[in-house]
Structure 1
Amino acid sequence: MRGLRARLVVVFVLLAGLSALTATGLVYRQASDLMLKRTEWSVVNEFRLRVATLTENMQHPPDRAALQQLANGVAPAFLEATGAAVYGNSGLIASGDGTGPITPALRRSVAGRHRLAYQRVVSAGAPYLVVGTPVLLGRQRTPSGVEAYLVTPLGKEAADEEALVAAARNGVLPVVALAVLFALLAAGGVLRPVRDLDRAARRLGAGELDTRLKVSGGDELARLVKTFNATAAALEANVSELREMEVRARRFVADVSHELRTPLASILAMADMFEEEAGRLEGDLAQAARLMNLEVGRLVRLVEDLMEISRFDAGAARLILDDVDVADAVRACLRTRGWTARVTLDLPPDVRIRMDPRRFDVITANLVGNALRHGAPPVTVRLRAEGPRDTGRVVIEVRDSGEGVDPDVLPHVFDRFSKADAARTRSDGSGLGLAIALENARLHGGSIDVTNPPGGGALFSLTLPRRPAPPPDRPGTSPPPRPEQV
């Protein structure tokens, strides 16, 4: 925005400066031409009359004394004249002072065309006006073969011209200063609605969907503001509808999961009983009893995972913190699930952090279980501490020796219901384990990353702070505060 303001000011200043310079140049040119022409015509007319008066009674052909008298009599009639001269076919016949500025070009023009001519010349750094005319004798205006010349300095006109240039230059500076002032005022008026629109767009992007702008005027900016308001209103309506649909969907999943827990608990109890009696059943009934128990257990785990996810979505998940030895917590998780013999541990002692033991157990079980199901042995769990005890962090790495994660699947590993093998329609997991692990890590203020390191396998890195920070705000859990109208 500042760059646009600067560009507008520069444009205004350039336009004002160019206009001022153009107007000043035109005025200067007209005034200069007017001064010079006035001087030229005054000198030329007076010179013509003076020569006619001095040669009125001159005999033909004139003698040298008469021509000298003519040369001496021309210049005194002009206060500013510096000299006069009379030329004949043989060259200079008679002269007063200051004949240097008389040029051969002017002499050729006067002698060849037999008419009065004048020329502006610069001699020794000073400007002059030189006027020449052929001398015509008698009433018949008989050519005498003689030319008379007058040299008049233009120093006064040059001084007037310099004063005019200085006045024009001094006049341009205030014009440019006023142009800067008007440019700032105009740029402020033009950019004010643009700045308001920029702030409103930022607030809209930050989630304040009821942001609106006041419409004033009927120009292009006003139409742009109307379009922004209409777009914001449509976006607010769509987002509100999507949020309501999302809330209803989450509530439906939570309600269904909750309602399924009681009947599933009864079904699971009966399935356990049938499996215990499977040895007494005949034919395929024993296999059916075992399969039923397996499928009911999978369904129970799915319902539990759905309820856990619904708590995260509703923002109802909370931490119950305690000071825990990380190595002991990892060993307890593996021992409970019977995985101790299948996992290689590298756990330094006395690494304690403040965390929720139950949620850490869920994270560890999901990461190790994923490695055991989809990777290849050996599976290794390593622990390392980084930074000071109070402000540092711990990293738990779970690595298998399988083929690693498909690069196409890698960005979606933590998506809900994501499967490592898209062609496999059934698996032992629900597809929610890694998503739940990531949510629990974020609840602690940590993170989980996955890579395919050199040497094969997949590497999941869980990073947790020693002192968990408050969990970040979750979008959609509460409506944003209502802003004032811009």
Structure 2
Amino acid sequence: MWSGGHLLPDGASGGPAHPLIRLFGRWVHRPLLPAARLWRRNIQLRVVATTLLMSLGVVILLGLVVIGQVRNGLLDAKRHAAQGQAAGGFEVAEQVADRMSDRGQDGAGASGRGVQDSGAWLNALVEQLASGGKGAYSVVALSSDSGETPYVASRGPRASGDVRPDSVPADLRKQVDEGTAPYERYGKIVHAGPGEAEPAVIIGKRLDDNHGDAYQLYYLFPFTQEEKSLSLVKGTLATAGVFVVVLLGAIAWVVVRQVVTPVRMAAGISERLAAGLLQERMKVTGEDDIARLGESFNKMAQNLQLKIQQLEELSRMQRRFVSDVSHELRTPLTTVRMAADVIHEAREDFDPATARSAELLRGQLDRFESLLADLLEISRFDAGAAALEAEPIDLRDVVHRVVDGAEPLAEAKGTRIVVRGAEAPVIAEADARRVERVLRNLVVNAVEHGEGRDVVVRLATAGGAVAVAVRDYGVGLKPGEATRVFNRFWRADPARARTTGGTGLGLSIAVEDARLHGGWLQAWGEPGGGSQFRLTLPRTTSDTLRGSPIPLEPEDSRRNRRPDDAAPARPAAERLASVPAQPRSGLPSGELPLPPVEAPAPSADPTALPGSGARVVRGAQEAPQGSSAVRPTTPNEGEGRPRGR
């Protein structure tokens, strides 16, 4: 859009491009995509192409300079030779006129016979002067306007060969008439027959004939030979330039290949190392810089292989230790549990201190059994022994069971659990036991950290995905801790009182359950603004997850909230109504949803996504625009402070 070019009126804004323009742009852009991709990925091609372009520019510049110098030299040589030839011809014409004038005076005297022979004399003079040129030049004799004998001027002009007298420019004739010195001008020789005009240098002078009348004599020197010489030089320079450019391109190709080939080899070996083939090494030959690079690369690969093997061995030992300890503790724990149950049943017969100890013993045994069950589950995931028993289930039933189980805790905390989006069935192929475990962990944590405020559980389905989001309005999450929220045994605030006695493994097991489904578990939060955890699963086990029907960052977050909504504190009903994009039929009477506010789409970083994040983002980027599929979410939406689990 040009503001100064008046393509649009002042103040007008440019709208979207016309569909035909966009279609033409895509039609032009599509064939260029492979070439552009090759250009970006092939450094050897870029170096060789740059070398060829620069060499071509230098050769063209040098050729123009050389051709200019040769042309100027040929023109100067031709002009000097023409000036000498024309001066000799003018001198011969003057001598012939003088001799004929002397003979006329010695003869019959001044009679009309001498005047009548002037035309024949001019014809003979032109033929005499032109005979010495042998095609190197032509001679033209024209009458002069300053002549005193009118009938001489009335005779036609004389020219040698088939040269037309109008080849002499009019301004040159005027100059010759006004002076007595020779004048020259560049022009063209026009022939009487068919053919193109020839460039030439024209030299003329005003002379007197045998009767003393003025006439104009011109020499026309064509540049035929010079043009042939210049064409030969151009052809030679073009051939030499092409050869030089091709030679430089070949040299650049060979030189760059010697450098790029080891780099490509290192890149390929790096990819194989990343794929787990730790025994791959570069082939090293010679003692140059590339060879030293290969040796350093091989040493690095060897050290990495050693470290990875040590870490793998340590990891195997840790997993085996956890598994063995977990299994070995089950038998004594069962015995202790039986004894604790007996003591707990008879606690009324004990004194108050002993009875209280029996109750504490049973509570701590419950926590220990929970920790042991979590350790066993983690060991199954580590060993790859976790099995998915998927079947079509309605997530509404799972959510209702989880909410019913969390109601006692919610009543104790003064929290209300509200379910949204449960009007229509939300069917997916999933393991009901694992999904219920994930949602129970999310809901219980939301209630525990919601500080008595409402907790919203939202269900949605779209495209090939289903999602369940748990939103609380408690302490929220701090930025920078989202990468650790699913770590094992990690707690945001270890000193925080925990009424339910978490083990620190809940979210770790939850994210493994999500991955087992090919799903996605993410967290979002802001300090003082609550948090939201979202579980996204493919509708069928064969589907590829491309996004989530629920945005990770809710529309009632501070960033998405309108300024006039951010100042006053809202009651619980209005705060619940601001949970994103629900059908109007799902709202209780008296509640009106806030208008949706579009959040800016942050860039996706697959490495920061829990679960199958890389696959989710890649699939979302490949989805066509305008698709009715779910909106892909990004890790930036999940930044926040993780709650202690």
Tell me the TM-score normalised to structure 1 length.
0.66
* SS of structure 2 residue aligned to 1:448: strand
Task: Pick closer, same or farther for the CA change 1:285–1:321 going to 2, 3 Å.
Answer: same
Task: Pick closer, same or farther for the CA change 1:120–1:272 going to 2, 3 Å.
Answer: farther
Is this contact kept in 1: 2:474–2:531, CA < 8 A? Answer: yes
- Aligned letter for 1:267? V
Match in the other structure for 2:444? 369
- Aligned letter for 1:467? T
Match in the other structure for 2:468? 396
Are 1:15 and 2:55 counterparts?
yes
Q: In the TM superposition, what are the counterparts of 1:131-146 in structure 2 within 5 Å?
A: none
1:161 aligned to which of 209, 226, 231: 226
Are 1:316 and 2:385 counterparts?
yes
Q: In the TM superposition, what are the counterparts of 1:82-481 in structure 2 within 5 Å?
A: 82=139, 121-122=185-186, 127-128=200-201, 152-155=219-222, 158-175=223-240, 177-178=242-243, 181-182=246-247, 185-186=250-251, 188-189=253-254, 190-191=256-257, 193=261, 195-215=264-284, 224-282=293-351, 284-333=353-402, 339=408, 342=411, 343=417, 347-348=422-423, 352-375=427-450, 376=452, 378-387=454-463, 392-400=464-472, 402-408=473-479, 409=481, 412-424=484-496, 428-452=501-525, 457-469=530-542
2 CA distance for matches of 1:393 and 1:9?
47
2 CA distance for matches of 1:236 and 1:360?
38
Is this contact kept in 2: 1:334–1:340, CA < 8 A? Answer: no
* SS of structure 2 residue aligned to 1:272: helix
* SS of structure 2 residue aligned to 1:29: helix
2 CA distance for matches of 1:452 and 1:289?
40
Task: Pick closer, same or farther for the CA change 1:269–1:2 going to 2, 3 Å.
Answer: same
1:2 aligned to which of 34, 39, 43: 39
- Aligned letter for 2:39? R
Task: Pick closer, same or farther for the CA change 1:227–1:151 going to 2, 3 Å.
Answer: farther
**1:51, distance to aligned residue in structure 2 (A):** 6.8
Percent of residue pairs identical: 30
1 CA distance for matches of 2:187 and 2:395?
103
Higher strand share: 1
* SS of structure 1 residue aligned to 2:537: strand
2 CA distance for matches of 1:200 and 1:403?
49
1 CA distance for matches of 2:348 and 2:410?
30
Is this contact kept in 2: 1:443–1:471, CA < 8 A? Answer: no
Tell me the TM-score normalised to structure 2 length.
0.52
- Aligned letter for 1:461? R
Unaligned stretches of 5+ in structure 1? Answer: 85-96, 112-117, 133-148, 476-486
- Aligned letter for 2:58? L
- Aligned letter for 1:444? H
Is this contact kept in 2: 1:380–1:399, CA < 8 A? Answer: yes
Is this contact kept in 2: 1:12–1:179, CA < 8 A? Answer: no
**1:319, distance to aligned residue in structure 2 (A):** 1.3
* SS of structure 2 residue aligned to 1:243: helix
1 CA distance for matches of 2:66 and 2:458?
86
* SS of structure 2 residue aligned to 1:396: strand
- Please tell me the root mean square deviation across aligned C-alpha atoms, in Å: 5.5
Greater RCO between the two (CA within 8 Å, min separation 6)?
Answer: 1
Is this contact kept in 2: 1:278–1:289, CA < 8 A? Answer: yes
**1:159, distance to aligned residue in structure 2 (A):** 1.8
Unaligned stretches of 5+ in structure 2? Answer: 1-37, 106-120, 142-157, 159-164, 190-198, 206-215, 412-416, 546-610, 613-645
Is this contact kept in 2: 1:444–1:471, CA < 8 A? Answer: no
